[in-house]
Amino acid sequence: MDASLRHLLSELEEAGRRNDEQEQDRSRKMLNLDPETAHLLSMLLRSSQRTRLLEIGTSNGYSTIWLAWATHMVGGHVISIDRDEHKQALAGANLRQAGLRDVVELIHGDATQVVATLAGPFDGVFFDADRLSAPSQLALLLPKLTADAFLFADNVLSHPQEIAGYLSAVEALPQFDHLVIPIGKGLSIAYRQKD
């Protein structure tokens, strides 16, 4: 990653932290991934050469930049969904500044409704929206995954009750290997290898 992109990410990290400390209204918080979690996610996506990524929960595009950067080198693409138009507009501007706007399709709307309309296939999905609706989105996405697929979800340690339904659903998937990494707010990683 070049120095200017690293610098932009650092600025977003700082701005997100400051905004979230001051903002009382949760819907106005950026709630960005912890930098180490974003870095790990990006490394896994890059090393496994993912090209068809779906992100659920764009916010201002902080994690989207990490995803887009990881996949753009292999000609990949990201779809990212958020129901907050204002935050997605910020994401568009931040992705443009990162030089990655063309790599990402931003879709505005309720994640479950949008996911139902997507054709896929996806070889990597990152769940980072409201957690309670993640099991429904997972069920809709299962037929739209490639044989070799990664599933990620944040907030396992910070919101254990809210994410419990998603974790049970993932653990019940017979072909997926699943583990939780205690990094940042707790990252769930599930992987299915092609036979």
Ligand X SMILES: C[S@@+](CC[C@H](N)C(=O)[O-])C[C@H]1O[C@@H](n2cnc3c(N)ncnc32)[C@H](O)[C@@H]1O
| Cβ-based nearer residue to ligand X, 24 or 194 | 24
Q: Is the dihedral of CA 66, 69, 75, 78 positive or negative?
A: positive
Q: 27 or 193: whose CB is closer to ligand X?
A: 27
Which residue shows structure tokens 């819907």? 27
Please say which residue, 105 or 177, places its beta carbon nearer to ligand X: 105
Instruction: CB nearer to ligand X: give 44 or 148.
Output: 44
**Least Å distance between CB 52 and ligand X?**
18
Shortest distance, position 193 Cβ to ligand X, whole Å = 26
**Overall size of the chain counted in residues:** 195
- Cβ proximity to ligand X, 62 vs 150, nearer residue: 62
Residue position matching structure tokens 């990152």: 126
Cβ–Cβ under 8 Å, residues 154 and 37: yes
Nearer to ligand X, 107 or 190 (CB): 107
Nearest-approach distance from CB 195 to ligand X, in angstroms: 32
Cβ 63 to ligand X shortest distance, Å: 3
Give the residues lining the site for ligand X (CB under 6 A): 31-33, 57, 59, 62-63, 81-84, 87, 110-111, 128-130, 133
Residue 160 CB, shortest distance to ligand X, in Å, is 16
CB of 1 to ligand X, least distance (A): 17
CA distances from residue 144 to 19, 33, 112, 166, 169 in whole angstroms, order as listed: 36, 25, 14, 17, 16
